[in-house]
Amino acid sequence: MQTTTYTVTGMTCDHCVGAVSGELRRLDGVRDVRVDLATSAVTVTSEGPLDDRAVRAAVDEAGYAVAG
Amino acid sequence: MQTTTYTVTGMTCDHCVGAVSGELRRLDGVRDVRVDLATSAVTVTSEGPLDDRAVRAAVDEAGYAVAG
């Protein structure tokens, strides 16, 4: 297991948190997603290394963006 | 037909708009709901006079509040 933390911009409310979490949970190997709305931090727990492009695509699909 | 405009606090994004609109559209006699997120104005078009308590309850159900 490993955890990776991303900064996701544009999230303003719990619906946004749900949308981002929902898309990320669908990725292969993802076991848990935690979002701190106050800091825009999204922490993903996965079985192995995450495909950065897949993470960015999932966040984009939800309507948000990974910073950096 | 008549239109009534409410100020709804707490809406921050399109998901919030959708949640409030969805609940209000379920009310008897409601034909249309328009939300201006920038001004927090929610304009409801209805067949007749709206039950103010029902409107407030619907907004509350969505997780927001009618101001005033």
pLDDT on residue B68: 79
> Is B12 in the A-facing interface, judged by CB distances under 8 Å?
yes
- Prediction ipTM score: 0.72
> Is B38 in the A-facing interface, judged by CB distances under 8 Å?
no
How far apart, in Å, do the first and last CA atoms of chain B sit? 24
Spell out which residues of chain B touch residue A13, defining contact as CB-CB under 8 Å.
Answer: 12-13, 15-16
pLDDT on residue A3: 95
Per CATH, is B2-66 categorized as 3.30.70.100? yes
**Burial class of B46 by CB neighbour count within 10 A (0 to 12, 13 to 18, 19+):** buried
pLDDT on residue A54: 97
**What is the residue extent of each domain of chain A?**
2-66
